[in-house]
Amino acid sequence: MVDPAHEHVEPAHTHTAPAPAPTRGYSWAGLAVRMVLTLGGAAGMIVSAFFDWIRGTSASDIGVRALWTTNLNHNGNDWLTTIAFVMVVLGIVALIGLAPRSGWLTSLAGALGIAVFVLLLVQLYRGTGSVNDLDPGAWIGLAGGVVALIGGFFGTRTVVAPVAYSGPAPVAT
């Protein structure tokens, strides 16, 4: 006699259809928010390049070396080595970040814009300055970087929507 505890019972085959595979869709509202925030953040970073940043000194008069040294003066007429140029480039990179669906480039540009502000503030503290020495351009650049960073996170969420199964009909048993 067969021991029922060790008996192998095979389940009946029901021939049911597999579950439908989810598809990815993107929210148009999230994409619109991303575009508005990216445009605002890029505009803030670009516009900040034309304002005064520290004690009445415009961003085009502050060399990029001010990010790692306490020397805030710009040596020469080369606009490409100023903080103004850096902020304009970061604003343009944030705008280019609208092209990929993920938004990582916009977030990167925003984070680098924040880093420019923080590095400049650290060097200002290392010298004889304080937060009170910052002019509106620095704050506008910081705000633009924060808005661009946040904007890069929108429009990337996926909406899972089931798709109707079009395979063979289930067989009744």
- Distance, in Å, from the CA atom of 59 to the CA atom of 84, rounded to the nearest integer, reads 5
Note the pLDDT tens digit of each residue in 98-120: 888 888 999 999 999 999 999 99
Higher-confidence residue: 87 or 11?
A: 87
pLDDT for residue 15 is more than 60 = no
Average pLDDT, the chain: 82
List residues bridging with 52 in a β-sheet.
Answer: 58
pTM score: 0.74
pLDDT for residue 27 is more than 90 = no
The owner of tokens 């040294």 is: 69
Strand 52-54 to 57-58 pairing: antiparallel
- Distance, in Å, from the CA atom of 16 to the CA atom of 169, rounded to the nearest integer, reads 8
Looking at 49-171, list the stretches that DSSP marks H as alpha helix, in order from N- to C-terminal side: 83-96, 104-126, 136-151
**Residue 47's pLDDT is what?**
96
Higher-confidence residue: 160 or 125?
A: 125
Note the pLDDT tens digit of each residue in 34-88: 999 999 999 999 999 999 998 888 888 888 888 888 877 767 678 888 999 999 9
pLDDT for residue 2 is more than 80 = no
- Residue 157 — pLDDT band, cuts 50, 70, 90? low
| Residue 7 CA: distances (Å) to CA of 10, 12, 13, 14 | 10, 15, 18, 21
Boundaries of every domain in the chain: 38-159
**Residue 115's pLDDT is what?**
96
**Residue 103's pLDDT is what?**
86
